[in-house]
């Protein structure tokens, strides 16, 4: 498997401020990390794929200027929610996936998640 | 379009009452089907990977099986600590082939 550490586990911020969430791969050099958002009783929604040393790839409908992703090293990716508003309140989770062997898929390993509340 | 459907949406069992959760999928070129457990306020915890029809994986009270159209997660004699949401995801060949397609999950409650 892989061990992923996410920080903070919860944060409350005022509307209009920015919040940074860190995702660290502790035992695996991750060239790619994934950021998800999860609403209550909903499944995981992929927001973006974070690529080490290059720009992140955002899913359709996700504002890249709103959700800034930086993947400066093989063990750290950060998600910054800029000018946060109450509608950005959600559960944010990062994951790493090793490259599958041949054509086989590879499982994802997740951080603990960050509960963001914007007031 | 790749799609995953899980049923039932919610399930309540008595301790010791065995049951199965279903994950139906359509995907272009299955590269893997994954089961996860998620506790409230936590990230998903990996359980199993299945690659091809007929494959089975087992861990304690859980057993996952796979056909060409669906996967089952069998829970034998569940305990209250098995209460959680169980998520199913698939990975296919289309597009970004590391992307996982997720079901909405089954919320399982096991009463003592």
Report pLDDT for A102.
72
* Per-residue pLDDT band at B51 (split at 50, 70, 90): very high
Residue of B38, B43, B89 to mutate, testing the A interface (most A Cβ within 10 Å of its Cβ): B43
**Do the Cβ atoms of A108 and B100 come within 8 Å?**
yes
* Per-residue pLDDT band at B96 (split at 50, 70, 90): low
* Whether pLDDT at A99 is above 80: no
Beta strand pairing status for B3-7 and B19-26? antiparallel
Distance from the Cα of A99 to chain B's closest Cα (Å) equals 8
Report pLDDT for B95.
66
Report pLDDT for A60.
93
* Per-residue pLDDT band at B28 (split at 50, 70, 90): confident
**Do the Cβ atoms of B34 and A107 come within 8 Å?**
yes
Concatenating the DSSP letter of every residue in A7-68 gives E-SEEEE-TT--EEEEEEESSS--SEEEEEEE-TT--EEEEEEEETTS--EEPTT--TTTEE
Closest Cα to residue A2, out of A28, A23, A24?
A28
Average pLDDT over residues B14-36: 95
Higher pLDDT, A31 or A6: A6
- Chains A & B: contacts with CB separation below 8 Å: 67
Residues of chain A neighbouring B44 (CB-CB closer than 8 A): 44, 93, 108, 110
* Whether pLDDT at A1 is above 80: no
* Whether pLDDT at B7 is above 70: yes
Let me know: does B15 contact B79? Beta carbons within 8 Å: yes
Report the mean per-residue pLDDT for chain B: 94
DSSP 3-state of A88? helix
Report pLDDT for A53.
85
Average pLDDT over residues B51-64: 96
Higher pLDDT, B20 or A31: B20
Each residue of A69-94: pLDDT tens digit? 999 888 999 999 999 999 999 999 99
Report pLDDT for B98.
75
Each residue of A15-29: pLDDT tens digit? 999 999 999 999 888
Let me know: does A47 contact A56? Beta carbons within 8 Å: no
The reply to whether B102 touches chain A by the CB within 8 Å rule is yes
Report pLDDT for A15.
97
Residues of chain A neighbouring B107 (CB-CB closer than 8 A): 41
The reply to whether B51 touches chain A by the CB within 8 Å rule is yes
Average pLDDT over residues B51-70: 96
* Per-residue pLDDT band at B97 (split at 50, 70, 90): low
Distance from the Cα of B105 to chain A's closest Cα (Å) equals 7
Q: Which residues in chain B (20-39) have CB-CB distances under 8 A to chain A?
A: 30-32, 34
The reply to whether A108 touches chain B by the CB within 8 Å rule is yes
The reply to whether B9 touches chain A by the CB within 8 Å rule is no
Exposed/middle/buried for B16, CB within 10 Å: 0-12, 13-18, 19+? exposed
């Amino acid at each position: 498997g892989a061990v992923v550490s996410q920080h903070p586990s919860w944060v409350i911020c005022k509307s209009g401020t920015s919040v940074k969430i860190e995702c660290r791969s502790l035992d695996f050099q991750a060239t790619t990390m994934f950021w998800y958002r999860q609403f209550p009783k909903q499944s995981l929604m992929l927001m973006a794929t974070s690529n080490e040393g290059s720009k992140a790839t955002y899913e359709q409908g996700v504002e890249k200027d709103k959700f800034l992703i930086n993947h400066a090293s093989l063990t750290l990716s950060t998600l910054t929610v800029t000018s946060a508003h109450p509608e950005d309140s959600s559960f944010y989770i990062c994951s790493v996936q090793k490259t599958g062997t041949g054509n086989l898929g590879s499982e994802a390993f997740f951080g603990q998640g960050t509960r963001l509340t914007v007031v | 379009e790749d799609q995953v459907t899980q049923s039932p949406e919610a399930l309540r069992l008595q301790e010791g009452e065995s049951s199965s959760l279903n994950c139906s999928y359509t995907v272009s070129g299955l590269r893997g089907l994954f089961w996860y457990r998620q506790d409230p306020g936590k990230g998903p915890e990996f359980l199993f990977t299945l690659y091809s029809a007929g494959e089975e994986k087992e861990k304690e009270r859980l057993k996952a099986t796979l056909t060409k159209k669906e996967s089952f997660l069998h829970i034998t004699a569940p305990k209250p600590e098995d209460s959680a949401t169980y998520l199913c995801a698939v990975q296919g060949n289309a597009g970004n082939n590391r992307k996982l397609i997720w079901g909405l999950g089954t919320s399982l409650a096991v009463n003592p």
